[in-house]
Structure 1
Amino acid sequence: MVHLAVILVLMAYPAIYTALKNSPVGTEAMTLLPQVETMIPVFYFGLFAMSFDFISGYTGYLSFGHAAFYGTGAYFVILTANDKVPFLPANTPFMISLVVAGLLAVVLALAIGSVSFRLTGVYFAMITLGFAQVLYVFVSGWDYVGPNPHDGILVNGPAGLNIGVPGIDSLNLAIGALTGDTVSLGFVHLDQTGVSYYMVGLVVLVCYFAMQRIIHSPFGKVMIAIRENEERAIAVGYNTFHYKLGAFAISAFFAAIAGGLLAGYQRTVSPDGTFNFLVAGDALLASIIGGFGTLAGPLYGQLFDESVREFLSKEAQGVGLLPYLRDHLGAGVMGTTIYNGLTVQGAIETFLNGHADLYVGALFVLFVLFVPNGLLGTLRDRLGGPVAKTLPEHVRRYLR
């Protein structure tokens, strides 16, 4: 019920955003709501954050090197599109390269995990970070990917990368900020952004339900047992090393899928945007804001993070707080002196212009101090259980 409601809202969001944009409160709506273009990165990076939460939130092992799998997926997809993967034929469909990228990340995770899971706590986090940094340095200097490997690589050719059923053209739609397909069905018209929104969202939705099913399986119950008390799980007969390694491999698969979606949509990747340890830090930020060990929470955390950044960023293309104040405060107000020669306009430029990261950092500290379980985790605590199970009952009680 709750999942269906969330899916319906997300499906309707482009239409809702457009309707509000053209309404009398359009300016205010555009200031507060994230753009549809912003939601696409929220989807694929939210999937990466969920894959991070899958291993870190449900086993208690923080994978600070998770960007290794994100970057693997992104680079593999573009190298495949550029016919630089020797074991795949030319013009391999995007969906096949996406799955193969996930399987390659599984192999990499098994190799890294077989060493890393011999350690625990901060030592595990640091050794995974070390592996990721080795890959970061390697890719940054790997001439095979392009003439300037540190600057990243592009997809050769103008064609978009398709999401759908490989081999059936009518069931494929190209994604991409500039190269995606457009769709017209009766009164419904989707531009390139709209097509990318729904296609990327569809893949993320399938991946989410797959991870959720695993978590609610006996395998997932053992993952949670490891998080709660690994020694007890060992005592009752579970080989926790194998379960941790399996969970790590599964999370790597979905992290690579997220990286592949990034590459498919942006058609360009760089070591700093994929393999850098700060990418895993952003996933940790989204998980803490949304709720550690909730799976869906990191997606909401990423949405919250991106919304705040867009609201406070000077690069918000006329839809953030700064452009709104510039447009709606008159010249007289903007020129008013507040203190010691500092005008209203000067104060806006000083305290708002480009300081989104500062305020996001402050919000992060407040979350850690006052909302340690995150948005979804706190809601679960208030409702007394998982939102999908308990919220409908609370609604029925309220309606009686």
Structure 2
Amino acid sequence: MHLAVVLLFACYPGIYHVATTSQFGLVFESFLPQVQTMTPILYFGLFAMSFDFISGYTGYLSFGHAVFYGTGAYLVIVIANGKIPLLAAGTPFMISVVLAAVLAALIAVAIGLVSFRLTGVYFAMITLGFAQVFYVFIRGWDWVATAPRDGPSVSFGTHPEGFRIGIPYVDGASYAIGRLYGSGLEGFLGLFDLSTTVVSFYMIGLVVLVCYLAMQRIIHSPFGRVMIAIRENEERARAIGYNTFYYKLGAFAISGAFAGVAGALFAGYRRSVTPENTFYFLTTGDALLSSIIGGLGTLAGPLYGRLFEQGLDEFLSKGSEGGGLLPMLQEYLSRSILETNALGLTIEEMIDAFINGRASLYVGIVFVLFVLFVPNGLLGSLRERVGGPIAKLPGRLFGGEKP
């Protein structure tokens, strides 16, 4: 199943190109997310998976996860601008990514030492408090800013060699990512050229895949079994001899490290960061939304949840923003139908009133429906039906068989 999903993602740019240039191109373009939309889905999906790693597998809901995402993003930009001693502006991006993971993990340990003294809603609130402290601190810290924009600081990365993913110091084994300044690839496999958008999609996807497999391996290790034991019954796990505090702290640090990697990918791709799109608590809210739609405690589910959410948002957004439904209706509905009067409005006016720019409204409605009727999310519901390693795991935590 993993291999099939990886192959599907790997083939997606080609599938999208063939489908959208076919006879029914507008229809496919309406329903399929654009490739430039898929790349942010990947790195934010990694952030959502890191959120699920701690919240879905230990049961401790971290509302402050944006701290680690923002830490990774800002560290990459600060290093690229040569503001850190011993790290030149030309420091390879992959080294910056590793440093972002390490720093985010250390901050997670510091926050966890305080936060894990509490449980339940109190843990969620104290992590939210830490997120707000970091947000206000970064917002007012001129050292990290390279340009003001109506108050909050904006940081731009100006890496002389580009933000390249691959083997550091080996130009032939690394490619720059970015919406505007990425590396294209001519004559790939001697058959076709890859645009900067497609190269960014593949290189970021490679990092996300490695991180996902690493988290998957940890979850299926003895350490991961204790994490799930804490989620199922922390008192029992403690009673049989596990020091749950240190296991939770370790899981939090690992989760923070992968969130830092996601933030680094975000900064490398966007080349600019602001406190609003990194440290703000609603960034964590987006990760929670993706996790609930995809399935908490499934690890891969948040990525699918993000894909579903962004795909729906793009499908219902304005045509100028890459939306699908609005231009498709305008193309295929005749003028006579569009000008038909119903309830005091023409069909065209109703489309504009109820669809054009209303994507967030419908995404919110879908989220409510998922909470009410699909509480286990997309992947969680699928695993309930077909079973799987994680579905069978909790019943064997303490040596017994699942009933």
The interval holding the TM-score normalised by the smaller chain is: over 0.9
Q: Secondary structure at the match of 2:152?
A: helix
Per-residue deviation, residues 276-309 of structure 1 (Å, max 9, x unmatched): 1001001001001001000000000000000000
Q: CA deviation at 1:73?
A: 0.3
1:202 to 206, 209, 233: 206
The separation in 2 between residues aligned to 1:337 and 1:100, in whole angstroms, is 61
The separation in 2 between residues aligned to 1:372 and 1:9, in whole angstroms, is 26
Report the counterpart of residue 289 of structure 1 in structure 2: 293
Superposed CA RMSD = 1.5
Report the counterpart of residue 122 of structure 1 in structure 2: 121
Report the counterpart of residue 168 of structure 1 in structure 2: 170
Q: CA deviation at 1:134?
A: 0.4
The separation in 2 between residues aligned to 1:303 and 1:87, in whole angstroms, is 39
Per-residue deviation, residues 98-150 of structure 1 (Å, max 9, x unmatched): 10011001110010000000000000000001001100001111111224271
Give the residue type in structure 1 aligned to 2:141.
Answer: W
Q: CA deviation at 1:319?
A: 4.4
Instruction: Trace 1:376-395 onto structure 2 (pairs within 5 A).
Output: 376-386=379-389
* Residue pair 1:158, 1:179 contacting (<8 A) in 2 also: no
1:250 to 250, 254, 263: 254
Give the residue type in structure 2 aligned to 1:240.
Answer: T
Give the residue type in structure 2 aligned to 1:371.
Answer: V
Per-residue deviation, residues 240-267 of structure 1 (Å, max 9, x unmatched): 0000000000000000000000000011
Q: Does 1:355 align with 2:358?
A: yes
- Return closer, same or farther for 1:348/1:159 CA change in 2, 3 Å cut-off: farther
Give the residue type in structure 2 aligned to 1:338.
Answer: A
Q: Secondary structure at the match of 2:357?
A: coil
Instruction: Trace 1:4-19 onto structure 2 (pairs within 5 A).
Output: 4-19=3-18
Q: Secondary structure at the match of 1:92?
A: coil
The separation in 2 between residues aligned to 1:360 and 1:107, in whole angstroms, is 35
The separation in 2 between residues aligned to 1:330 and 1:386, in whole angstroms, is 52
2:229 to 225, 230, 239: 225
Report the counterpart of residue 395 of structure 1 in structure 2: none
Q: TM-score, normalised by structure 2?
A: 0.93
1:278 to 275, 278, 282: 282
Per-residue deviation, residues 48-69 of structure 1 (Å, max 9, x unmatched): 0000000000000000000000
* Matched positions, count: 387
* Structure 2: runs of 5+ lacking an equivalent: 393-403
The separation in 1 between residues aligned to 2:13 and 2:313, in whole angstroms, is 20
Per-residue deviation, residues 22-78 of structure 1 (Å, max 9, x unmatched): 111111101001111110011000000000000000000000000000000000001
Report the counterpart of residue 177 of structure 1 in structure 2: 179
* Residue pair 1:318, 1:324 contacting (<8 A) in 2 also: no
* Residue pair 2:140, 2:153 contacting (<8 A) in 1 also: no
The separation in 1 between residues aligned to 2:200 and 2:311, in whole angstroms, is 19
Per-residue deviation, residues 163-200 of structure 1 (Å, max 9, x unmatched): 00001111010000010001122112110001000000
Percent identity of paired positions between Structure 1 and Structure 2? 63
Give the residue type in structure 1 aligned to 2:132.
Answer: Q
The separation in 2 between residues aligned to 1:324 and 1:79, in whole angstroms, is 44
Give the residue type in structure 2 aligned to 1:284.
Answer: L
Q: Does 1:373 align with 2:376?
A: yes
* Residue pair 1:42, 1:302 contacting (<8 A) in 2 also: yes
Give the residue type in structure 2 aligned to 1:110.
Answer: V
Q: CA deviation at 1:323?
A: 1.6
- Return closer, same or farther for 1:386/1:367 CA change in 2, 3 Å cut-off: farther
* Residue pair 1:55, 1:63 contacting (<8 A) in 2 also: yes
* Residue pair 2:383, 2:391 contacting (<8 A) in 1 also: no
2:316 to 312, 316, 333: 312
Report the counterpart of residue 45 of structure 1 in structure 2: 44
* Structure 1: runs of 5+ lacking an equivalent: 390-400
Report the counterpart of residue 103 of structure 1 in structure 2: 102
* Residue pair 1:3, 1:388 contacting (<8 A) in 2 also: no
The separation in 1 between residues aligned to 2:164 and 2:72, in whole angstroms, is 16
Q: Does 1:78 align with 2:77?
A: yes
The separation in 2 between residues aligned to 1:8 and 1:157, in whole angstroms, is 32
2:273 to 250, 269, 291: 269
The separation in 1 between residues aligned to 2:334 and 2:161, in whole angstroms, is 46
Per-residue deviation, residues 369-394 of structure 1 (Å, max 9, x unmatched): 111100000000011234999xxxxx
- Return closer, same or farther for 1:157/1:306 CA change in 2, 3 Å cut-off: same
Report the counterpart of residue 331 of structure 1 in structure 2: 335
Give the residue type in structure 1 aligned to 2:61.
Answer: L
* Residue pair 2:41, 2:303 contacting (<8 A) in 1 also: yes
Q: CA deviation at 1:339?
A: 1.6
* Residue pair 1:40, 1:197 contacting (<8 A) in 2 also: yes
Instruction: Trace 1:59-74 onto structure 2 (pairs within 5 A).
Output: 59-74=58-73
* Residue pair 1:379, 1:387 contacting (<8 A) in 2 also: no
Q: TM-score, normalised by structure 1?
A: 0.94
Q: Secondary structure at the match of 1:54?
A: helix
* Residue pair 2:90, 2:160 contacting (<8 A) in 1 also: no
Q: Does 1:139 align with 2:141?
A: no
Q: CA deviation at 1:331?
A: 2.6
Moved over 4 A (4+): 386-389
* Residue pair 1:380, 1:386 contacting (<8 A) in 2 also: no
